[in-house]
Structure 1
Amino acid sequence: MSQPIARPVIALLALITLGGASAAEVQVAVAANFTAPIQAIARDFEKDTGHKLVAAYGATGQFYTQIKNGAPFEVFLAADDSTPAKLEKEGDSVPGSRFTYAIGTLVLWSAKDGYVDAQGDVLKSGQYKHLSIANPKTAPYGQAATQVLDKLGLTAQVKPRLVEGQNISQALQFVSSGNAELGFVALSQVYKDGKITHGSAWIVPAEMHEPIRQDALILKKGEANPAARALVDYLKGPKAADVIKSYGYQL
């Protein structure tokens, strides 16, 4: 009598043990512009796979330095394609794991309603004291902002007014707090489900700067971690794609 009961119990215990063993944590370096989307994706990822995503947010260039210095990141979601390509070339990633997960959009934004016009002519008016951008040396969105200013012939005019954030999150903070009247930020930071969430904005035409192709890859430290591979696969799936598009990115 006891044997038929014991077998299902043993099988159930084995399944529980196996489920616990297969769930893992993945350490992810995430470009600051992708903060809101990855937080939304992380919830679904954990629910759907059992794996947990632990994210750190910052500037792509700073993450490169940290990775080269041995930081424990296993997956890198950059704000450009050149930094992941460099890491790939230098042997710091799992071969064949690099792919473009999003194409970013730059926006000139103000926390004030009606302050930024639909063509961005406010930049030429000179009626502002501070223009916020991310550090162009470490943040691709900052580099794109400088390209736009060059294209408009405004580089010299706005130079005394520039306020640089260490990354795109700090650039946004300067504008949100009122320390800068306007700034170049990532559309994803002020956009959700087809509209600007607050303030006023000029969505910069893509042809005014180099494409902001955002690549991801699995780093060497994540090579043996099933959660790292699972995350990359999940980012390529339809559920993540819907979230990414809802924040104004192209795929």
Structure 2
Amino acid sequence: MTAESSSSTLRSHALKHVLKFALLGAFTVALSANTALAGSTNVAVAANFTEPVKEIAAAFKAKTGHDLVLSFGASGQFYTQITQDAPFEVFLSADSARPKKLAEEGLGVKDSVFTYAIGKLVLWSKSPGVVKGEQTLKDAKFAKISICNPVAAPYGAAAVETMQALKLDAELKPKLVEGANITQAYQFVQTGNAEVGFVALSQVIADKDGSRWLVPQNLYKPITQDAVLLKKGEANVAAKAFIDFLKGPESRAIIEKFGYEVAPGKAS
């Protein structure tokens, strides 16, 4: 090999190394930029929406890199906590009244309130053949029936409205066991502390073994579930991005998969 060809080979190898490190550097810078842009937001979520929002959070993370820090509970309890300076930036309520009120009180961003889901109430038992429509309530052969707190949780209010509409509230009152939220109402049935219970359709939509009755809409007021961007999240890119994502087609498909309706014109 001549000195000239050897020098040329060395230059070629050197150039390859330079290009390799340049590309690696560019990739590292791009990765660092994406990491720096990724953020997180604290979201208060009505307990009935636990499973859907977990799936939405995964899709949101995959698309944007942002994380959702999720807390679950009764809407009324979250409202109280938000008025007492809790660090939530987005609130997904199980009703429409509380998000609207927060916006009116200056704790929510004006005009950010929208309906993300319309919930459905179900009378459910983990055992097959137990629940057979409204006749199950009229016969009242069970010892205990679970509901969630009707003051703090809209699904509890819907359960009370249903019993009142059927004129069974006085008869069933001694049999009631009350959970703080819809998750606890579900757990009472799941653990056998109540034979039947009023729960959200989303909680039992995948259940193939139990029995359930989808309560007719004319027996209770629509469970219109609204979201609001809170003032604490107004400057948070991740919070605003989540609100937008919740309105989009990916979230809508997940919400409908869990048995909710999406209000026409509210999700795009």
The 8 Å contact of residues 112 and 229 in structure 2, kept in 1 or not, is answered as: yes
In the alignment, what sits opposite 2:141?
127
Verify: 1:213 aligned to 2:227, yes or no.
no
- CA drift at 1:116: 0.1
Q: Residue 202 of structure 1: SS of its match in structure 2?
A: strand
- CA drift at 1:18: 2.2
Verify: 1:249 aligned to 2:263, yes or no.
no
Counterpart CA distance in 1 for 2:27 and 2:257 is 40
Structure 1: 5+ residue stretches without partners:
none
Q: How many aligned residue pairs are there?
A: 246
What are the superposed Cα offsets for residues 34-84 of structure 1, whole Å, 9 maximum, x if unpaired?
001011111111111100111000000000011111111111000000010
Verify: 1:143 aligned to 2:157, yes or no.
yes
Identity %: 51
The 8 Å contact of residues 98 and 215 in structure 1, kept in 2 or not, is answered as: yes
The aligned amino acid for 2:198 is F
In the alignment, what sits opposite 1:172?
186
Counterpart CA distance in 2 for 1:11 and 1:178 is 59
Counterpart CA distance in 2 for 1:174 and 1:163 is 8
The aligned amino acid for 2:251 is A
Regions of 4+ moved over 6 Å: none
After superposition, residues 1-251 of structure 1 pair within 5 angstroms as 11-117=26-132, 119-192=133-206, 196-251=207-262
Q: Residue 171 of structure 1: SS of its match in structure 2?
A: helix
The aligned amino acid for 1:150 is Q
- CA drift at 1:203: 0.1
Q: Residue 76 of structure 2: SS of its match in structure 1?
A: helix
After superposition, the CA RMSD in angstroms is: 1.6
Counterpart CA distance in 2 for 1:96 and 1:104 is 22
- CA drift at 1:7: 6.8
Counterpart CA distance in 1 for 2:135 and 2:250 is 38
The 8 Å contact of residues 190 and 198 in structure 1, kept in 2 or not, is answered as: no
Counterpart CA distance in 2 for 1:83 and 1:97 is 13
Structure 2: 5+ residue stretches without partners:
1-13, 263-268
- CA drift at 1:12: 4.2
Counterpart CA distance in 1 for 2:138 and 2:205 is 24
Q: Residue 63 of structure 2: SS of its match in structure 1?
A: helix
The aligned amino acid for 1:125 is D
- CA drift at 1:16: 2.8
What are the superposed Cα offsets for residues 103-159 of structure 1, whole Å, 9 maximum, x if unpaired?
000000011111001x22110112111110000010000000000000000010001
What is the TM-score of this pair, normalised by structure 1? Answer: 0.93
Counterpart CA distance in 2 for 1:241 and 1:58 is 22
